[in-house]
Amino acid sequence: MKTIDLSVASVRDLNQALHDQTKEPTEREWLVSHPDGKHNLAVGINEALSVDIQGHAGYYCAGMNQQATITVHGNVGVGVAENMMSGSVRIKGSASQAAGATAHGGLLVIEGDAGARCGISMKGIDIVVGGSIGHMSCFMGQAGRLVVCGDAGDALGDSLYETRIYVKGSVKSLGSDCIEKELRAEHIAELKDLLYRAGLDHDPASFKRYGSARELYNFKVDNASAY
């Protein structure tokens, strides 16, 4: 295992070393010590590496991830796993707003809570949150699945497309065009698999499913106030 100590090395040193593995992989396992809330840690990786960050991270940790498995043993700031394409990111603590924003694929697990706009404009990522999420989460969510084991804030799923949302707790309010939908057998099976992959022990039948009413796909003058 390769160790990089950020009390000595710079964030640029860390990311360059990880990017160099795409050209010629020599080390698959990396440990990052003393992150101390620094921003942009482990961004833009495009190789099947394992990166273990031993502490809190700042903004945009694990952004644009492809293939790598990244674990943060602490909390993260805005935009964790932003625009992720594949691989997995696990946050052992909580996340600030815009977790998984615009991400196209992969799995993001937040074992604690997530702030506002979790999964905003998500395009295929799977996000599993062990706690609760803030307001405007999954705004304009286009594809993928969002699982919330706690509660959800205001305007959940506003202007939603085809993202599936599963919430175990209460939802403060639903956004425009987001409605509760039937939880069928195939959804329970899907949810069971997501919870298993996230390592969380919950009864999938205890969740509610939310999705798009599909009333905002095309402009209708009667819905003008909802756009």
CA dist., res. 151 & res. 153, Å (int): 7
Beta bridge partners of 29: 50
pLDDT exceeds cutoff 70 at 224: no
CA dist., res. 79 & res. 116, Å (int): 11
Q: What is the pLDDT of residues 133-159, one digit of tens each?
A: 999 999 999 999 999 999 999 999 999
Q: What is the CATH number of domain 37-45+55-201+208-213?
A: 2.160.20.60
CA dist., res. 79 & res. 74, Å (int): 15
Say what the pLDDT of residue 216 is: 77
Put simply, whether the predicted model's pTM sits higher than 0.85 gets the answer yes
HSE on the CB side for 7, CA within 13 Å? 5
Given the structure tokens 């499913």, which residue do they identify? 209
Q: Where are the domains of the chain?
A: 37-45+55-201+208-213
Amino acid of residue 55? G
Pairing of strands 29-33, 123-129: unpaired
Say what the pLDDT of residue 76 is: 98
pLDDT exceeds cutoff 80 at 180: yes
Angle ∠(211,214,217) on CA atoms, nearest 5: 130
Given the structure tokens 């307001």, which residue do they identify? 135
* Residue among 191, 111, 120, 194 nearest 153 (CA): 120
CB 115 within 8 A of CB 134: yes
Q: What is the pLDDT of residues 45-60, one digit of tens each?
A: 999 999 999 999 999 9
